[in-house]
Amino acid sequence: MKSIVTHRRPAGPTGWGRVRIAAILVGVFLFAVRSATAEPVALSPDEKAYLAVHGPVTLCVDPDWVPFESINARGEHEGIAADLLRLVARRTGVVFDLVPTRDWDESLEASKDGRCQVLSFLNKTPARDEWLLFTEPIFNDSNVFITREEHPFIDDPAGLAGESIVFPRGTSMEERVRAEYPNLGILTTDSEMDALSMVSDRKADMTMRSLIIAAYTIKKEGLFNLKIAGRLPNYANNLRLGVVGTQPVLRDILDKGVASITPQERGRIVNEHVAINVQTGLDKALVLKIGLAFALVAGLGLAWNYKLKKYNAELMRLSRTDLLTDLPNRRQVMARLDEELGRASRSHRPFSVIILDIDHFTAVNDRLGHQGGDRFLIAFARVLRETVRSCDLAGRIGGEEFLVLCPETDQGQAAQLAERIRAAVAGHAFEPGRRHSISAGVAALLPGETADALLCRADDALYRCKEGGRDKVCVL
């Protein structure tokens, strides 16, 4: 059972071909590496006293946001958010008391009037800052434009005239698009499914939704006249837990639980809810439909073929690239890690990894705001890309965490590279008048070692750096 709630109120073509087709359709994959079991987080005396005095924490969720979260017929919270919150609950000792609501709007209102202390899985916005405190992101997901098949690729939505975009009511993306793209006509509806259906039925020209939602819903509902038609790099979902503003201690407790969740655990959870289902949902009839569609498009002429190739190439790039930094994403890095481990084991050549973490990035976000924090990450990725060697692969594996794969590199050489990256970051002017630093954990492959074990040692080395004062390189 995937529910995290222990106190509940009464509820008012197989193989590679299949994977490749799924990538073209939805451009979303998360690769599960391992399932780590973490120890309970260390709470301060004040935090322990808070839990002892206050007891269960009331929680409101979106009751119909599959596969992120929903409330099932038994009144239980389930989905990706529920599984992540279950990890937070187990590691912090927080007991969540689910408050059922009819929809997300009611959950927001329940938070505003004090019936819910915590909201799950929401973006931080200026409007929500008025009554909520936010944890660091518990989950990151890209937003993309979804249109009908005949719609051209969207390079810049500011250049669209007379087109409409539909959102489920109360979303942060609606707030941002209203403010930044007044040329688009904004429509609202009751649910994710309604938004996609309105596009499919020509009642709206497009919607902007998450890659994961698109993957799940298009497959589940058979909306194969829809496609991914573009994305905005700074429009990612950085989903957090929102805590009422009067409860900063509770926010700090939950933040520690969020920080304890590893990228591998997030990958495993998403794979259970989305990736496997997407891959196994394709049958021969669907493959035939896709083949006929491509044949029809091919008949429209060379010009349209060229556009289609550009579009498909963009989708394939999106499936392998972190949309904010343009570095390889976690799925691509982990796939390359497996390849490099196999190559190093067969040739008996050295291989090392470096895990990098930006020190005190929470403070950067607090000073610069969400968009400023994104610009910081983009600049950091540029420094990283310019500093690593041509044989290395550097990618973003989560929040402010990055992984560098170092073929033909022993531990000492990898440590030297990590020091060079650290020096480059220290010497770069990310913010006027401020110096920034990183911590780095280095591990070299041991005979017979698995990818999980290698990453665990690098992660442990990173943890030693943080415990030892940060701004340093540690090896293990």
Whether 226 shows a pLDDT value over 90: the answer reads no
Average pLDDT over the chain reads: 83
Give the pLDDT confidence score for residue 361 in this predicted structure.
92
Whether 29 shows a pLDDT value over 90: the answer reads no
Are the C-beta atoms of residues 442 and 461 closer than 8 Å to each other?
yes
Tokens matching residue 103:
């929809």
Give the pLDDT confidence score for residue 28 in this predicted structure.
35
Give the pLDDT confidence score for residue 347 in this predicted structure.
87
Distance of alpha carbon 36 from its chain centroid, rounded?
Answer: 18
Catalytic residue IDs: 400
Give the pLDDT confidence score for residue 102 in this predicted structure.
94
Four-point Cα dihedral 374, 377, 378, 382, nearest 10: 170
Over range 276-294, report the average pLDDT: 46
Work out the pLDDT band at 7, boundaries 50, 70, 90.
Answer: very low
pLDDT tens per residue, range 351-397: 999 999 999 999 998 899 888 899 999 999 999 999 999 899 999 99
Give the pLDDT confidence score for residue 209 in this predicted structure.
87
* Max avg pLDDT among 10-19, 299-308, 419-428, 429-438: 419-428
By DSSP bridging, strand 57-60 and strand 96-98 are parallel
Whether 454 shows a pLDDT value over 90: the answer reads yes
Work out the pLDDT band at 317, boundaries 50, 70, 90.
Answer: low
| More confident position, 230 or 255 | 255
In this structure, of 10-14, 81-85, 215-219, the range with the lowest mean pLDDT score is 10-14
Give the pLDDT confidence score for residue 34 in this predicted structure.
37
Instruction: Provide the terminal-to-terminal Cα distance of the chain, rounded to the nearest Å.
Output: 38
Tokens matching residue 269:
């959870």
Over range 298-302, report the average pLDDT: 50
Whether 240 shows a pLDDT value over 80: the answer reads yes
Measured distance CA(423)–CA(437) in Å, rounded: 8
Are the C-beta atoms of residues 180 and 157 closer than 8 Å to each other?
no
pLDDT tens per residue, range 33-58: 333 445 799 999 999 999 999 989 99
pLDDT tens per residue, range 142-187: 888 999 988 998 888 988 999 999 999 888 888 889 988 999 999 9
From residue 320, alpha-carbon distances to 29, 309, 331, 395 in Å are: 8, 17, 7, 10
Give the pLDDT confidence score for residue 309 in this predicted structure.
55
Give the pLDDT confidence score for residue 271 in this predicted structure.
78
Q: Which CATH code, of 1.10.645.10, 3.40.1130.10, 3.40.50.2020, 3.40.190.10, is assigned to 7-140+238-276?
A: 3.40.190.10
Whether 16 shows a pLDDT value over 60: the answer reads no
Quickly count helices (H) and strands (E) in the chain: 17, 20
Q: Which CATH code, of 1.10.1060.10, 3.40.50.700, 3.10.20.310, 3.30.70.270, is assigned to 330-475?
A: 3.30.70.270
pLDDT tens per residue, range 263-283: 888 888 887 887 433 333 344
pTM: 0.48
Are the C-beta atoms of residues 351 and 407 closer than 8 Å to each other?
yes
Work out the pLDDT band at 27, boundaries 50, 70, 90.
Answer: very low
Give the pLDDT confidence score for residue 313 in this predicted structure.
56
Domain boundaries, the chain: 7-140+238-276, 330-475
Measured distance CA(279)–CA(21) in Å, rounded: 9
Measured distance CA(214)–CA(363) in Å, rounded: 33
